[in-house]
Structure formats: C-alpha cells, structure tokens
Amino acid sequence: MTILVTGGTGLVGARLLPRLVAAGVDCRALMRGGKKAPAGVTTMEGDIFDPATLVQAVAGFRRSSTSPQFSERPTPT
C-alpha cells in the first residue's frame, strides 16, 4: 500500500513521513518546489490547491484521508 502525504514538508507531513518510512510504508509526498523529503519517499512537485497537480498526485489511489491544517486558501507572500 502506498500512502500519499500532501504537504510533505509541512507541520504534520514533516513529522509523519519519517515515521512512515521507518515503518516500511511506501510513501508519496506532494510538496512545493525547492523542498526535500526524507530518503525513500517518492516526491511530486505541486500544490494541493492546483487541481492539475493534485489529480496527478492521487492517480492510482483508491482511498484517501486528509488532515488539512487551514480553513481557507493561504495568501501568497
């Protein structure tokens, strides 16, 4: 089973991915450009708010669960 973690370098994802990898779970992470994921993680550059990259990230998955850490789309800085 492969687990997709959106926001792989965010508050939750950065703590979750190393634990999943250590447990032997196959992981895919959707992350913004310029970020690094732990070794053993398949990364995809994109944004959860960009439908095109989100569709690519979830390709092949039959189930999903989300843990959003925001109530509205963040304002770019």
Indicate whether 32 belongs to any domain: yes
pLDDT digits 0-9 by tens, 56-74: 988 988 776 666 665 566 6
What is the structure's pLDDT at 74?
Answer: 60
The answer to whether residue 71 is domain-embedded is no
* Average pLDDT in the chain: 84
On whether residue 73 sits in a domain, the answer given is no
pLDDT digits (tens, 9 = 90+) for 17-39: 999 999 999 999 998 888 888 89
Number of folded domains that form the chain: 1
* Domain assignment of residue 47, yes or no: yes
Band of the pLDDT at 47, cuts 50, 70, 90? confident
CA 17/CA 40 separation, integer angstroms:
10
Closest by CA position to 3, among listed 68, 53, 60, 69: 60
pLDDT exceeding 70 applies to what percent of the chain?
82
Is residue 75 included in any domain, yes or no?
no
Does the residue 64 lie in any domain?
no
**Domain boundaries, position 40:** 2-58
* Residue 49 counted as domain residue: yes
Q: 8 is written with which tokens?
A: 């792989």
Does residue 43 lie in a domain region?
Answer: yes
